[in-house]
Chain A
Amino acid sequence: MTRAFQGLDSGQLLLICAAGLVAVAGVAHTAAVGLDHPEIAIGFGALIAVGELARLTMPGNREVAPIGAAAALGYTLLLDLSQERLQHPALQVVAVIAVGMIAGALPHLAVGRPPRLDAMARRLLTGALLAFAFRPLADPLYLHTQPPDENWWPALAVMIVLIALSLFVDVLIAAMLRAEQVRTAFRVAFRDEINMAFPLGAAVGASGVLLALATHSMDLVALLVFAAPLLVTQVAFRKYAGIRATYLQTVRALSRVTEVGGYVEPGHSRRVSRLAVAVGRELGMAEPELLELEYAALMHDIGQLSLRDPIPGGATVLTDPDQARRIAELGAAVIKQTGVLDRVADLVRRQCDPVAADPPLSSRIIKVANAYDDLVGGSTDRDRAGAALERLRLAAGTAYDPAAIEALARVADRYAAAHRP
């Protein structure tokens, strides 16, 4: 378990501790006063466990469990079951969510796939937050739905507003964690998280409300039917996440053919892409742009495959500019062949442009990262890194973008600090 905690930063640890405390409080309280309507708690707990079992990893290494989240929402928002009033307290909701999540995570753990603790903690905390906000309102809202009023609109409105709020808080926490984790500006991380969370959040929210309303007119067995729309969503997102992951893996893998063919130093493409993405983050680029930057950085040397013989040593910073330009053009032509990565092709084509030609930011970053890696290679020697940066600074403003160089210097500094024995 200690291994799982390594590599967590302070924000994540705080989150996990908070979630742990809330979970313990919920379970302890429930154990003390007993379960209200145990069969319902078990039913929803089981659905949460199933959802946790079917968790999936979205692009950007984000773990989500849509079915579990919707079930948790449903249990939080329950007003009645087959017109029998339900009054389970918020702490019981927390206990059910916590137990369900742990039960669902156990099979994964058994086959050696530990859950992302921070992601789990976030799911639990958002659920708890909503529970504490909604449960006290459940009783008055229920009375409205009963004769003589029979009015569901207030309940519906409250549900939707509170769900939106809890989603917002969830995104906020996620963005804070991510900003700390990948070292990007909070504002950028927040926008990325919103973009990622919105579609799935809308689907989960709607399904949660659906579950809560459905229990009004039917008993627990029918609930399974009402999880069906979300099942379709889950399948779709799993496929989407799968192909996104494979795509990135494939480009990463195939970027290595230049190394196998002896065109570039081993590990060059991967190092350049890592550097480039780190610099891009430093300069406040958002995720879609970063993905294109990563693809372009991985494939920036692919044009060399069209050369008859590898350039000795392979380093493009030392080859003559015309040759380098030709390689960039050839590489862009290869990428353009795909018919879909036109923007990536353009980034590769312009990777040799001087600052005066006003190339896109990503191209400038690739140029700087590429030159830096050509000079430093896989070495973690501080002096060598410093010398390389000095050399780049000499051409700042003409060949290289000064902002990109300074961002690279900060990234290199961090790497050096991380590698210091």
Chain B
Amino acid sequence: MRDLPWPARVYLVVVIGTATALLWHSLFGSARPVTTAELGTLLVLALLFLVCESMPTLLNVEQFAVSVSFSAALAAVVLIGPEGAAVVGFTATLSVRPGLPLIKRLFNGAQFAICGYAAGLVYAGLGGESGVPKVNAFEDLIGPYVAATTVFVPLNIVLTLTMIRLATSEGRVEVPMRGMVQFLLSYLGYGTFGLLVAGLWATVQSISAVLVLLPLFVARWAFGQYHAQQRSYDATIAALCQAVETKDYYTRGHCTRVSAASTMIAQEIGMGLERLRAIGYAGMLHDVGKLGVPTKVLQKDGPLTEEEFAAIQLHPMRGLEIVRGIDFLDEAYAGIMHHHERHDGTGYPMGLAGDEIPEFAKVIAVADAFDSMTSDRSYRGARPVEVAVEELHKCAGTHFDPVMVTAFVRALERRPWQPPRRVDLPPPEADDKPTKDHDDPTMPIEVVSGP
């Protein structure tokens, strides 16, 4: 509490004060006291709320941990009314989530109590009847219930976000619009579970809650497994790509940085989540085919013979050959295959130009060249970011798609680039030092024709 800025403290006191007043009113000052029969219902719902609240579910939006607990509070709106909803909501204070300080618990409980009460008022105001609904009165519940949900959810979000905004010194919490909409929709969707619980209460009482929640808990488990596998997958793909690079002392970490830079550009030009993920992987894997090119050729000093150049030109195809068995978006394959095409049509392997080049490949080409320039090479030190950006600008229109270059520069302004650490001197046994890098646009590959 002490390390909170004063507006946050004031806000906290106001929220908790309001909730306390509401609870006091609900328990003792209410015109309609809670009956003993309802007390049992209240207890079950509170328990339900607690169980859900103690296990926050990571639903499809990564930034927010949501629990479906609020559907228990909404069920209380129907079964008991605003008073019950406030009490059920306040039990969030008792949640057994470890490591949650008392002040946060109090705030959570208070804001849930306020939301529950407000939703209850709206429900009653629209003619919804409190109490266990009649067996055939389900349809009459729907309208008021939807209204109650549409009050509860945004109020809950506003109360919480205000707290976060006041408490964090930066003042602005960046919430992506797209994620927010998705989040709101799924949140509202989960609200229906409260309706299901309440609607079936007359038939099988608390068992209805179990029947509704069991699939949700299984889903939660599966989502958990999914996220764990996803993290594990990302780590594995990065480690394997790095393994491909270990041989070349200077390009270590290249794949992860190209992946990061590609994602930055893709975000800037507004790609959707699925494509973002795919381009991340494409950037990561863009050079796996390099292993098929003899190291001697990749690092050869001076002009290459035609055969040697042909070997280099083959590496995007080799890469494609390797990753073809993975179910990515087709675009990711295209990105790997064409990442050395140039805007003016002088690149390889196909010599595509301008808009013939797939979008993924254009993005990766910029990221690839940029990382090559800002990393150490044995034949030169790393260039500063500004110099590399200037070089990108210079090559825009010939080597790179100007749109991607501008997008990247914009992204760089927003999020500064972390160039790799300086490479320590290579171990002594690495005697044949490479003298070029096929990704470096400032060192074009020279080819001598004929024997």
Residues of A within 8 A of B (CB): 82-83, 152, 156, 199-200, 202-204, 206-207, 209-210, 213-214, 216-218, 222, 225-226, 228-230, 232-233, 235-237, 239-240, 243-247, 249-254, 256-257, 260-262, 299, 302, 305-308, 334-335, 337-341
399-420 of chain B: CB within 8 A of chain A:
none
Q: Give Cα A338 to B322, complex, Å.
A: 20
Does residue B283 face the partner (Cβ distance < 8 Å to A)? no
204-231 of chain B: CB within 8 A of chain A:
204, 207-208, 210-216, 218-223, 225-226, 229-231
On whether the beta carbons of A243 and B230 are closer than 8 Å, the reply is yes
Q: Give Cα A250 to B328, complex, Å.
A: 10
Shortest B375–chain A CB gap in Å is: 20
Task: Give the contacting residue for A260; candidates B195, B226, B242, B321; CB below 8 A.
Answer: B321
On whether the beta carbons of A199 and B196 are closer than 8 Å, the reply is no
Task: Give the contacting residue for B240; candidates A152, A199, A254, A340; CB below 8 A.
Answer: A254
Contacts A210-B196, A254-B288, A340-B235 given; indicate if A203 touches B136 (C-beta within 8 A).
no
CB-defined contacts of A306 to chain B, threshold 8 Å: 243, 246-247
Q: Give Cα A313 to B245, complex, Å.
A: 22
Shortest A16–chain B CB gap in Å is: 28
Between B199, B218, B233, B328, the greatest number of chain A beta carbons within 10 A of the residue's beta carbon is seen for B218
On whether the beta carbons of B325 and A253 are closer than 8 Å, the reply is yes
Does residue B6 face the partner (Cβ distance < 8 Å to A)? no
On whether the beta carbons of A243 and B229 are closer than 8 Å, the reply is yes
Shortest B218–chain A CB gap in Å is: 4
CB-defined contacts of A209 to chain B, threshold 8 Å: 211
CB-defined contacts of B322 to chain A, threshold 8 Å: 253-254, 256-257, 260
CB-defined contacts of A152 to chain B, threshold 8 Å: 203-204
Q: Give Cα A48 to B189, complex, Å.
A: 22
On whether the beta carbons of A260 and B324 are closer than 8 Å, the reply is no
Q: Give Cα A251 to B323, complex, Å.
A: 10
On whether the beta carbons of A233 and B324 are closer than 8 Å, the reply is no
Shortest A288–chain B CB gap in Å is: 12
On whether the beta carbons of A217 and B138 are closer than 8 Å, the reply is yes
Shortest A12–chain B CB gap in Å is: 26
**Interface size classification for chain B:** 35 or more
CB-defined contacts of B325 to chain A, threshold 8 Å: 249, 252-253
As a 0/1 sequence over residues 312 to 353 of chain B, the CB contacts with chain A under 8 angstroms (1 = contact) are 000000100111111110000000000000000000000000
Does residue B289 face the partner (Cβ distance < 8 Å to A)? yes
Shortest A65–chain B CB gap in Å is: 15
CB-defined contacts of A232 to chain B, threshold 8 Å: 190, 215-216, 219
On whether the beta carbons of A246 and B136 are closer than 8 Å, the reply is no
On whether the beta carbons of A261 and B292 are closer than 8 Å, the reply is yes
Number of A-B contacts (CB under 8 A): 186
Shortest A116–chain B CB gap in Å is: 18
Shortest A37–chain B CB gap in Å is: 18
On whether the beta carbons of B246 and A335 are closer than 8 Å, the reply is no
With A299-B240, A302-B240, A305-B246 given, can you name 19 additional A-B contacts, CB distance below 8 Å? A83-B136, A203-B215, A206-B215, A214-B199, A217-B138, A217-B203, A228-B192, A229-B193, A232-B190, A232-B219, A235-B219, A236-B218, A239-B222, A240-B229, A247-B232, A257-B240, A305-B243, A306-B247, A334-B240
* Residue ID in chain B nearest A204 by CB atoms: B215
CB-defined contacts of A340 to chain B, threshold 8 Å: 231-232, 235-236
On whether the beta carbons of B235 and A338 are closer than 8 Å, the reply is yes
Contacts A235-B219, A256-B322, A334-B239 given; indicate if A214 touches B200 (C-beta within 8 A).
yes
Q: Give Cα A338 to B235, complex, Å.
A: 5
CB-defined contacts of B202 to chain A, threshold 8 Å: 217
CB-defined contacts of B208 to chain A, threshold 8 Å: 210, 213
Contacts A236-B219, A239-B223 given; indicate if A213 touches B200 (C-beta within 8 A).
yes
Between A222, A229, A307, the greatest number of chain B beta carbons within 10 A of the residue's beta carbon is seen for A229
Shortest A194–chain B CB gap in Å is: 15
Shortest B431–chain A CB gap in Å is: 10
Does residue B124 face the partner (Cβ distance < 8 Å to A)? no
| Consensus secondary structure, chain B interface | helix
Task: Give the contacting residue for B196; candidates A226, A244, A335; CB below 8 A.
Answer: A226
Does residue B139 face the partner (Cβ distance < 8 Å to A)? yes
Q: List 12 A-B contacts (CB under 8 A).
A: A203-B218, A206-B211, A213-B200, A229-B196, A237-B219, A247-B236, A250-B326, A254-B288, A260-B321, A306-B243, A337-B238, A337-B242
Shortest B51–chain A CB gap in Å is: 15
Between B200, B215, B324, the greatest number of chain A beta carbons within 10 A of the residue's beta carbon is seen for B215
Task: Give the contacting residue for B229; candidates A213, A222, A244, A249; CB below 8 A.
Answer: A244
91-116 of chain B: CB within 8 A of chain A:
none
CB-defined contacts of B423 to chain A, threshold 8 Å: none
Task: Give the contacting residue for B199; candidates A217, A239, A244, A245; CB below 8 A.
Answer: A217
On whether the beta carbons of A218 and B326 are closer than 8 Å, the reply is no
CB-defined contacts of A214 to chain B, threshold 8 Å: 196, 199-200
Does residue B158 face the partner (Cβ distance < 8 Å to A)? no
Does residue B244 face the partner (Cβ distance < 8 Å to A)? yes
Shortest A344–chain B CB gap in Å is: 9
Q: Give Cα A160 to B180, complex, Å.
A: 39
* Residue ID in chain B nearest A228 by CB atoms: B192
CB-defined contacts of A252 to chain B, threshold 8 Å: 325
Contacts A232-B216, A243-B230, A305-B291 given; indicate if A199 touches B242 (C-beta within 8 A).
no
CB-defined contacts of B289 to chain A, threshold 8 Å: 260
* Residue ID in chain B nearest A260 by CB atoms: B292
Contacts A217-B203, A306-B246 given; indicate if A253 touches B195 (C-beta within 8 A).
no
Task: Give the contacting residue for B247; candidates A203, A308, A335; CB below 8 A.
Answer: A308
* Residue ID in chain B nearest A226 by CB atoms: B196
Does residue B310 face the partner (Cβ distance < 8 Å to A)? no
Task: Give the contacting residue for B210; candidates A82, A206, A249, A305; CB below 8 A.
Answer: A206
* Residue ID in chain A nearest B324 by CB atoms: A253
On whether the beta carbons of A257 and B237 are closer than 8 Å, the reply is no
Q: Give Cα A226 to B326, complex, Å.
A: 36
Between A222, A249, A250, the greatest number of chain B beta carbons within 10 A of the residue's beta carbon is seen for A250
Shortest A210–chain B CB gap in Å is: 4
CB-defined contacts of A335 to chain B, threshold 8 Å: 239
Q: Give Cα A340 to B231, complex, Å.
A: 9
On whether the beta carbons of A250 and B226 are closer than 8 Å, the reply is no
Does residue B135 face the partner (Cβ distance < 8 Å to A)? yes
Contacts A206-B210, A260-B292, A305-B291 given; indicate if A250 touches B237 (C-beta within 8 A).
yes
On whether the beta carbons of A302 and B243 are closer than 8 Å, the reply is yes
Q: Give Cα A307 to B204, complex, Å.
A: 68
* Residue ID in chain B nearest A208 by CB atoms: B211
On whether the beta carbons of B138 and A218 are closer than 8 Å, the reply is yes
Q: Give Cα A209 to B216, complex, Å.
A: 15
CB-defined contacts of B243 to chain A, threshold 8 Å: 257, 302, 305-306, 334, 337
Q: Give Cα A233 to B232, complex, Å.
A: 22
On whether the beta carbons of A337 and B239 are closer than 8 Å, the reply is yes
CB-defined contacts of B326 to chain A, threshold 8 Å: 246, 249-250, 253
* Residue ID in chain A nearest B229 by CB atoms: A243
Q: Give Cα A338 to B190, complex, Å.
A: 35
Q: Give Cα A156 to B205, complex, Å.
A: 12
* Residue ID in chain B nearest A295 by CB atoms: B236
CB-defined contacts of B324 to chain A, threshold 8 Å: 253
CB-defined contacts of A308 to chain B, threshold 8 Å: 247, 295
CB-defined contacts of B211 to chain A, threshold 8 Å: 206-207, 209-210, 213
CB-defined contacts of B328 to chain A, threshold 8 Å: 246
Q: Give Cα A226 to B200, complex, Å.
A: 11
CB-defined contacts of B223 to chain A, threshold 8 Å: 236, 239-240
* Residue ID in chain A nearest B328 by CB atoms: A246
Between B60, B212, B239, the greatest number of chain A beta carbons within 10 A of the residue's beta carbon is seen for B239
Task: Give the contacting residue for A247; candidates B229, B239, B241, B323; CB below 8 A.
Answer: B229
CB-defined contacts of B242 to chain A, threshold 8 Å: 334, 337
